[in-house]
A and B are shown apart, each in its own frame.
Chain A
Amino acid sequence: MKILLTIIMGSIGLFANHFQLMYTPDTTLKSGKTIKMIHTMIHPYSDRKTMDMGKQHKGEKKFLEVEEFYEIHKGIKTDLIKTLEPIEFQGKKRVGRGYKSKYKLKKMGDHLFVIKPAPYYSTLEGIYLQQITKTVVNIAGKPTDWDRELGLEAEIIPLSKPYGIWEGSSFSGMVKASGIPVPFAKIEIEYLNSDIDMKNFKMGKAKTVAPQQSFKTIEIKANERGEFTFYLPRAGWWGFNAKHVGLKKDYKEKELSIEAVIWVQVKKIK
């Protein structure tokens, strides 16, 4: 019985790989413009299930709204929570509760977006997940905030720019929890294997076929200083999720796993 349970739990762990996505079509803009974003919780490679952001296992409300959404430019924080509008995001197999937002970017430099969704109850794992997610959009090529450390409960701090990445080059980061490096942090990496239809809020067709699960969710570990580097073999969007790195907490009598996600966009050399 114990062996069976171990096998089941192993399988659960293997296939959990939820990612909070914060997507916008282009992270390297030539000049200021109004950008649109989609916020949804998905399995980026397999598109196996679109989750309902903020889903609770008990309480008065079935879903809770996003806790924080903001942008940082030249160290100044702008609250964007009111820009979020609920949407139904259509995955291959399931519609999930997510958000859209739009925001006018005017200033040259980096615009570091952070979203902290409400904890999401994963029925499969029996725990809550809260993925604090970053996406950086740059205007005109002036670097200003891409490496800024925010002291979040769980955070991937880029050691290389998280934009302006050619296909075949790499991304490096450092995993921290409340400002403290997390040695040997486990990082799951997934390729966003579909285009995002910004108009109809849905995933497109799969772009690649993986020979086995290991290629869908790539797993690496940080070094003793919490640092990692990963080579990005294909143009598109890549998500990095540092798993279970925040300090252990309970939420509604369940374990709350605080995780750090960052998205990077890779472009093809033409």
Chain B
Amino acid sequence: MRKVFLVILVSSGLFAHTPLLTCMDEGDGTVTCEGGFSDGSSAGGVNFIVKQGEKILIETKLNSTSEINFKKPSGDYVAIFDAGNEHRVYLKSSEIFE
């Protein structure tokens, strides 16, 4: 019972803060995105997706520094930081600058 209670506390703690995503066009044909949480906790290992319409171009996890660098897709795309449980942040390519 005690173990169950602890697990519930940890789970609720994980989502008591807001997920954050920033992306920057590196100007060399790649884009770097960084995920995070408003309480400063790491987003290493959190799911990250790049979609073009309904097509998934990249589906991976953020590295230990909560980042990912990927080849810039041609055309419009959306970067998604997916922390689960409806804790998703979407960033359109039109909002990603050099």
- A contact set with B: CB distance below 8 Å: 30-33, 106-109, 139-144
Q: Is the CB of B40 within 8 A of A31?
A: no
- With contacts A140-B20, A141-B20 taken as known, whether A31 is within 8 angstroms of B97 at the C-beta atoms is yes
Contacts of B38 in A (CB 8 A): 141-143
For the A-B complex with A31-B95, A108-B34 known, give 4 more contacts whose Cβ atoms are closer than 8 Å: A108-B22, A140-B36, A141-B38, A142-B36
Shortest Cβ-Cβ A-B pairs, 5 listed: A142-B36, A31-B22, A143-B40, A108-B34, A140-B20
B-side interface residues, number (CB < 8 Å): 18
- B21's closest neighbor in chain A, by CB? A140
Q: Which of B32, B36, B37, B95: most chain A Cβ within 10 A?
A: B36
| Whole-angstrom CA separation of A109 from B37 in the bound complex | 10
Contacts of A139 in B (CB 8 A): 22
Q: Is the interface of B mostly helix, strand, loop or mixed?
A: strand
| Whole-angstrom CA separation of A140 from B24 in the bound complex | 12
| Whole-angstrom CA separation of A142 from B32 in the bound complex | 17
Within 8 A of A (CB), among B1-42: 18, 20-24, 32, 34-40
| Whole-angstrom CA separation of A32 from B24 in the bound complex | 7
Q: Is the CB of A144 within 8 A of B40?
A: yes
- B contact set with A: CB distance below 8 Å: 18, 20-24, 32, 34-40, 66, 95-97
Q: Is the CB of A108 within 8 A of B97?
A: no
- With contacts A32-B22, A32-B24 taken as known, whether A143 is within 8 angstroms of B39 at the C-beta atoms is yes
| Whole-angstrom CA separation of A108 from B32 in the bound complex | 11
Q: How far is the CB of A72 from chain B (nearest CB, A)?
A: 15
| Whole-angstrom CA separation of A32 from B21 in the bound complex | 11
Contacts of A30 in B (CB 8 A): 22
Q: Which of B24, B37, B66, B95: most chain A Cβ within 10 A?
A: B24
Contacts of B36 in A (CB 8 A): 108-109, 140, 142
Q: How far is the CB of B93 from chain A (nearest CB, A)?
A: 13
Contacts of B95 in A (CB 8 A): 31
Q: Is the CB of B18 within 8 A of A141?
A: yes
- Pull 24 A–B residue pairs with CB atoms less than 8 Å apart, ordered by A: A31-B23, A31-B95, A31-B96, A32-B22, A32-B24, A33-B97, A106-B24, A106-B32, A107-B34, A108-B20, A108-B34, A108-B66, A139-B22, A140-B20, A140-B21, A140-B22, A140-B36, A141-B38, A142-B36, A142-B37, A142-B38, A142-B40, A143-B39, A144-B40
